[in-house]
Structure 1
Amino acid sequence: MAPSTPPSPSSASAPAGRDPHDHADRAASFDRDADLYAQVRPTYPRDAVEWLLPAGVRRVLDLAAGTGKLTEVVVDLVAAGTDVVAVDPSSPMLGELSARLPGVTTHQGTAERLPLPDASVDAVLVAQAWHWFDVDAAATEIARVLRPGGTLGVVWNDRDTAVDWVARFGEILHRGDRLEPAAGHVPLTGVGDPFTAVEAATFRWVDRLPAGALRVLAGTRSFLLTLPDDERAARLAEVDALEATHPDLVGRAEVELPYVTSAYRARRR
């Protein structure tokens, strides 16, 4: 459920020396404002997560779990007694996850070096993070920790840019962003012989945010998190102007932000 009032954006400066066009700097930027990320980033539709989870799952790894947006849906869907484990490189992100989901085991780690034993999980799910991985190394590690027949699932929320104001919002967020994929997300590919052919499905849904929260949501994007302070402030002012002037947004107590969720799955042979 959306918060009734928008959270307050941080006034902290971007860390000195961060390059908005550097992959590593962008990936590391999420340590900043993890609490805001937890409040305003969207969840994932239940039907998409159900499609990703194999029947009879006993242990699920949420890889690059962040603040637990996907983890929360998994915990809600799986049967009692199913073990859910979260791995992420960011300690602040995992701290937010643990505060919200104290029953979930967390480990600080990366996709390329998972802190789990061989053949120890039935599913590895990755939400909004496949583009941060070294795909070859990650696929090898994921295949190692999956039991035979287990599932690798990747899920992406893309804003529905067929809606005019959403397209304009995205243009503000990503203007000049050299790392933003042209298609909006990176499909699951290149996982190799340990896995079966990749299946794909899409799911449409709407997230609801209180008026004013678009600015906060924009501020959680890695591109804006690594921009110089003056450029970041200018982008956020553009978001404010969009919300104050677009006919689909003016005077609304709640903003309906439509998403197209793309899900991909492959089985461990």
Structure 2
Amino acid sequence: MLSVLRKSSEELPSGVANRITATRGSAERISVDDQSVDAIICLQAWHWVDPEQAINECDRVLKQNGMMGRAWHTWDRTSDWVQALAAIIEPDGTPADQTLSVPGEFVGRGTFERKEFPFNHELTLEQLVQLASSWSFVAQRADRNIVLAKIRGLGEKAESVHTGLVRFPHTTATFRFKQPARGVVG
């Protein structure tokens, strides 16, 4: 990801690119000075970190009244198409939506707000099947090939005659946390 950021930065106007500093680190070991960061953003990746260590690092590097943003792309389950997809791959029913409330490790750690932003992920039929094959809850199934064939069939029915793309409705669920003043727990 660091090399992608560096390459992408080359394409930005110099006034913007010069404000970007890329360093090696992790959520548990952020390589910046104490109280030196206005904001931290974590998209679709918090489940990969050690929450206790990561929170301690965020507390260390965030300036007083700093912000932390977290977001997840989730399926828009109000869509008939998504409901049909879910019926194929979730035989035990819909899993609990973990984006509906403040993640447990953040309860009592300041103020937060939650917002949702709808969007349509548009994919070719092959991209849809490839994406579905990468989902662990599909990849680990004994009937994986049957499930992928059903997803392909669903995608064929949903494919736009104008663009050849499948519209996969999503919602981005976001949280914005504001760290309280030092020594104050909100």
Global fold match (TM > 0.5):
yes
What SS class does the counterpart of residue 242 from structure 1 fall into? helix
Q: 2:106 aligns with which of 173, 191, 194?
A: 191
* Matched positions, count: 170
TM-superposed CA distance for 1:125, in Å, is 0.7
TM-superposed CA distance for 1:130, in Å, is 2.3
Q: Retained in 2: the 8 A contact 1:149–1:268?
A: yes
Structure of larger gyration radius: 2
Please tell me whether residue 235 in structure 1 is matched to residue 147 in structure 2.
yes
Q: Retained in 2: the 8 A contact 1:130–1:186?
A: no
Q: Retained in 2: the 8 A contact 1:172–1:239?
A: yes
Please tell me whether residue 259 in structure 1 is matched to residue 175 in structure 2.
no
Q: Structure 1 unaligned segments of length 5 or more: list them.
A: 1-92
Instruction: Report what 1:210 is aligned to.
Output: 124
Task: Supply the distance in 1 between the matched residues of 2:114 and 2:62 (Cα, whole angstroms).
Answer: 20
Q: Retained in 2: the 8 A contact 1:154–1:188?
A: no
TM-superposed CA distance for 1:238, in Å, is 2.5
Seen in structure 2, the aligned counterparts of structure 1 residues 133 and 165 have a Cα distance that, compared at 3 Å, is same
* 1:241 alignment partner AA: G
Task: Supply the distance in 1 between the matched residues of 2:21 and 2:91 (Cα, whole angstroms).
Answer: 38
Instruction: Report what 1:147 is aligned to.
Output: 63
Return the TM-score normalized by structure 2. Answer: 0.72
Please tell me whether residue 131 in structure 1 is matched to residue 43 in structure 2.
no
Return the TM-score normalized by structure 1. Answer: 0.52
Q: 1:165 aligns with which of 67, 81, 89?
A: 81
Percent of aligned pairs with the same amino acid: 29
Task: Supply the distance in 2 between the matched residues of 1:94 and 1:173 (Cα, whole angstroms).
Answer: 34
Task: Supply the distance in 1 between the matched residues of 2:87 and 2:23 (Cα, whole angstroms).
Answer: 35
C-alpha distance after superposition, 1:148-184 (max 9, x if no partner): 111011111111111122123244455579xx95115
Seen in structure 2, the aligned counterparts of structure 1 residues 138 and 210 have a Cα distance that, compared at 3 Å, is same
* 2:153 alignment partner AA: A
Q: Retained in 2: the 8 A contact 1:187–1:264?
A: no
User: Aligned ranges for residues 1-269 of structure 1 at < 5 Å?
Assistant: 93-102=1-10, 103=17, 105-173=21-89, 182-183=96-97, 185=99, 187-189=101-103, 190-191=105-106, 195-224=109-138, 227=140, 231-244=143-156, 246=157, 248-249=158-159, 251=161, 253-269=164-180
